[in-house]
Chain A
Amino acid sequence: MSTQDKVTINKLPTGVPGLDEIVGGGLPEFSFNIIAGAPGSGKTTLAHQIVFANASPEHPALYFTVLGESAIKMLRYQQQYTFFDPAKLPGSIHFINLSQIVLEKDLGAVLEEITKEVEKANPAVVVVDSFRTMVRKPKSDMDLQSFILRLALFLASWQATTFLIGEYAEEELRDNPIFTVADGLFWLRQTTERNSIVRKLQIVKLRGQDSVPGLHTFRITDAGVQAFSRTFGLTARKRNPPGDRRLSFGIPELDKMLDGGVREGDSVLVAGSSGTGKSVLATQFIAEGIRQGEPGIVAVFEERPEAYAERATTLGLDLETPQKDGKLTILYLRPLDLSVDETMQSILDAVQKIGAKRLVIDSLAGFEMALSPGFRADFRESLYRMIFALTGIGVTILSTVEVDESFTEFPFSTYSISFLCDDILRLRYVSIDGQLRKIMVVIKMRGGNHAKDIREYEITSKGVVILGKRLTEYQGLISGVPVHSEGSATRKEPSQ
């Protein structure tokens, strides 16, 4: 069958940020869907959001409430969300209570009532909340199956996109006729992981279109449900392959070590122990980008944006003005219960908003700590997805990572993520002549001819300053306890 012979399935907006992407562009029009999950998982809020996004006087929505939450209380709470537009009631959205019929009559009478109301209103969207309470005690399985089939057929033929809301346990997925009849099955979960609550959404089934598989985190805020796709919403975004441009740190000696600078679209890891100047380097990297007209984003987890900007001023770097000018965003991501996908969404939104070219993540340890415990186990995999997604749209990422200083080893990262990074810059302390001095070395640079030199540096009021030439007079510098090449214990100043 050629493409033009195929029926076109229109897609309705979900009204939920991030969810259109997950369901493959929108909700299939005239589909018969189930929104399932435990109490408190966000089913009603999701349904309301869909209804408010789609209902209009020409295409009204019918919202049938059955037993369970009182409709008055439901409206009282739901109107707290910003998506709730009271002007749509009752003209565009009709709430109809079926409790009495459900209590006093059988499923046939319920179907009759729904039919009557649908014929009267000719709705584009129909919600039954909660469907589960309606069919809890059918006379027989056949009764229920017949009811569901007739309801699905009737609503589809009346060109209504339908959502049945139900409290279902996952074990019920098998052998339940409703899941067979449904075109779409949206499963909402809420789990407690240590002291954090994590909400996840799965499109178990969606006929006719390509939804994003897997569990997607979502959050409920004043604005309602916001979903975070595992693909970070990038399937709808144009990929922007990086070019061959080199990005400067604003530190000429370091740029030379990097064969002219960091290649655009690379992921750079700056590893070192506490106080070695990782954040200073990161700040210089972002400030130099802004100086060259490349907007940037700094994602901080361990300190507030104001403190971060204030610290930059001590290095003679102004991060306040570019923030006001819309060329820099310092994201402070609320700690302790984040998902990587949420963090990513914030970063991607900021990237899109200011057209960022450089991103600093300071630091990976802080990022990990900000995540809900359940996500920490998947941190490495999440980093992979995040780095792949961001560099794919041409953003150059510099991440800092703290490593334990060891005088017997030379680790790059505690996360075993060095394979995810194109370039690795290692900072460390060395003990020379009774002083704790600092050295840096480019460990790796994918596709670049980087310097092999080990260079000494200092942190001054101008930031990181690389001293002299490579340290040729010491052996075992990376061990942290070098010896003079001639075996002398006396200190020799690095050549200037």
Chain B
Amino acid sequence: MTTPPVMRDLARCLLTCEAVASKNSEPVEFVTLRVYEKLRQSLVVFAGVDGFQALAFRALSQAKSEAPGLWAVHMAADGALQGLGEFRPQPVEFEPQPSSDMDKASEEGVILIARLLGLLIIFLGEALTFGLLRNAWPGVTFDDRNSQNGRAS
């Protein structure tokens, strides 16, 4: 079971937005964490910590089965992610990160965020999910697409 391309595109869009918004060069894991945190903050408001944590835990579990590199990532009781990129060599400032590692980390981030978005669309539907994203990323134009609302992906 792999992440649907539509969800990957959407996740990539969010990660790109965050990467562009950041003025400093930073590891891709940081960007993933920022996207995840924005989603967490938005969702915790109406779903509660437990509600978000349950959903995010499922997303992480799905992502791990698709991207084994995420094996070390775990979730705190408040739904915060821990261990993302911990076991990968940290980039030295001004020194470019090896592209293969960067691509891999980037792909893992895409998968994790895509899985979370996928679950949101399954449970809340496209309209509410995109409403939530527009609220969290006010300046970004999202292209609402026909994604699957069912469990199959």
Binding site for B on A (CB under 8 A): 65, 70-73, 75-76, 79, 86-87, 89-91, 94-100
**B147–chain A nearest beta-carbon distance, Å:** 15
Q: Are A95 and B51 in contact (CB under 8 A)?
A: no
Q: Mark B28-64, 1 if CB is under 8 A from A, else 0.
A: 0000000000000000111111110001000000000
Instruction: Determine the distance from Cα of A72 to Cα of B50 in the docked complex, in whole angstroms.
Output: 11
**B21–chain A nearest beta-carbon distance, Å:** 21
Contact among B51, B125, B127, B131 for A70, CB-based, below 8 A? B51
Further contacts, 13 of them, CB under 8 A, given A72-B124, A99-B50? A71-B46, A71-B47, A72-B51, A72-B55, A79-B124, A86-B128, A91-B135, A94-B46, A96-B46, A97-B46, A99-B48, A99-B49, A100-B49
A66: nearest chain-B partner, CB-CB: B48
Q: Are B124 and A97 in contact (CB under 8 A)?
A: no
Q: Are B125 and A71 in contact (CB under 8 A)?
A: no
Q: A72-B123, A87-B127 are in contact. Are A65 and B48 (CB under 8 A)?
A: yes
Q: List 26 A-B contacts (CB under 8 A).
A: A65-B46, A70-B48, A70-B51, A71-B46, A71-B48, A72-B55, A73-B123, A75-B46, A75-B124, A75-B128, A76-B125, A79-B128, A86-B125, A89-B132, A94-B45, A95-B46, A96-B45, A97-B44, A97-B45, A97-B46, A97-B47, A97-B48, A98-B48, A99-B50, A100-B48, A100-B50
* A76 neighbours in B (Cβ, 8 Å): 123-125
Q: Are A90 and B131 in contact (CB under 8 A)?
A: yes
Instruction: Determine the distance from Cα of A91 to Cα of B127 in the docked complex, in whole angstroms.
Output: 13
* A70 neighbours in B (Cβ, 8 Å): 47-48, 51
* A86 neighbours in B (Cβ, 8 Å): 125, 127-128, 131
* B125 neighbours in A (Cβ, 8 Å): 76, 79, 86
Instruction: Determine the distance from Cα of A163 to Cα of B140 in the docked complex, in whole angstroms.
Output: 35
* A98 neighbours in B (Cβ, 8 Å): 48
For the complex, would chain B's binding face be called helix, strand, loop or mixed by DSSP majority?
helix
Most buried by B among A87, A97, A100: A97
* B55 neighbours in A (Cβ, 8 Å): 72
Top 8 closest pairs, chain A to chain B, by CB: A86-B127, A97-B48, A95-B46, A99-B48, A71-B47, A72-B47, A90-B135, A89-B131
Q: How many A-B pairs with Cβ below 8 Å?
A: 60
**A265–chain B nearest beta-carbon distance, Å:** 50
**A98–chain B nearest beta-carbon distance, Å:** 8
Instruction: Determine the distance from Cα of A95 to Cα of B131 in the docked complex, in whole angstroms.
Output: 13
Within 8 A of A (CB), among B108-147: 123-125, 127-128, 131-132, 135
A85: nearest chain-B partner, CB-CB: B127
* A73 neighbours in B (Cβ, 8 Å): 123
A88: nearest chain-B partner, CB-CB: B131
Q: Are A95 and B45 in contact (CB under 8 A)?
A: yes
A70: nearest chain-B partner, CB-CB: B51
A102: nearest chain-B partner, CB-CB: B48
* A79 neighbours in B (Cβ, 8 Å): 124-125, 127-128
* A87 neighbours in B (Cβ, 8 Å): 127, 131
Instruction: Determine the distance from Cα of A70 to Cα of B48 in the docked complex, in whole angstroms.
Output: 9
Instruction: Determine the distance from Cα of A238 to Cα of B61 in the docked complex, in whole angstroms.
Output: 64
A100: nearest chain-B partner, CB-CB: B49
**B150–chain A nearest beta-carbon distance, Å:** 13
* B46 neighbours in A (Cβ, 8 Å): 65, 71, 75, 90, 94-97
Instruction: Determine the distance from Cα of A86 to Cα of B47 in the docked complex, in whole angstroms.
Output: 16
Within 8 A of A (CB), among B76-98: none
B128: nearest chain-A partner, CB-CB: A86
* A94 neighbours in B (Cβ, 8 Å): 45-46
Instruction: Determine the distance from Cα of A94 to Cα of B135 in the docked complex, in whole angstroms.
Output: 11
* B47 neighbours in A (Cβ, 8 Å): 70-72, 97
B50: nearest chain-A partner, CB-CB: A99
**B48–chain A nearest beta-carbon distance, Å:** 3
**A95–chain B nearest beta-carbon distance, Å:** 3
Instruction: Determine the distance from Cα of A89 to Cα of B132 in the docked complex, in whole angstroms.
Output: 8
* B51 neighbours in A (Cβ, 8 Å): 70-72, 97, 99
**A123–chain B nearest beta-carbon distance, Å:** 14
* A90 neighbours in B (Cβ, 8 Å): 46, 131-132, 135
* A96 neighbours in B (Cβ, 8 Å): 45-46
Instruction: Determine the distance from Cα of A96 to Cα of B42 in the docked complex, in whole angstroms.
Output: 10
**B45–chain A nearest beta-carbon distance, Å:** 6
Instruction: Determine the distance from Cα of A97 to Cα of B47 in the docked complex, in whole angstroms.
Output: 6
* B49 neighbours in A (Cβ, 8 Å): 97, 99-100
Instruction: Determine the distance from Cα of A72 to Cα of B131 in the docked complex, in whole angstroms.
Output: 14
Most buried by A among B46, B55, B123: B46
A73: nearest chain-B partner, CB-CB: B123
* B124 neighbours in A (Cβ, 8 Å): 72, 75-76, 79
**A187–chain B nearest beta-carbon distance, Å:** 28
Instruction: Determine the distance from Cα of A98 to Cα of B127 in the docked complex, in whole angstroms.
Output: 24
B54: nearest chain-A partner, CB-CB: A70
**A90–chain B nearest beta-carbon distance, Å:** 5
* B123 neighbours in A (Cβ, 8 Å): 72-73, 76
B43: nearest chain-A partner, CB-CB: A72
A89: nearest chain-B partner, CB-CB: B131
**A65–chain B nearest beta-carbon distance, Å:** 7
Instruction: Determine the distance from Cα of A213 to Cα of B125 in the docked complex, in whole angstroms.
Output: 40
B136: nearest chain-A partner, CB-CB: A90
B125: nearest chain-A partner, CB-CB: A79
**A448–chain B nearest beta-carbon distance, Å:** 61
Instruction: Determine the distance from Cα of A328 to Cα of B143 in the docked complex, in whole angstroms.
Output: 48
**A73–chain B nearest beta-carbon distance, Å:** 7
* A99 neighbours in B (Cβ, 8 Å): 48-51
Most buried by A among B44, B47, B132: B47
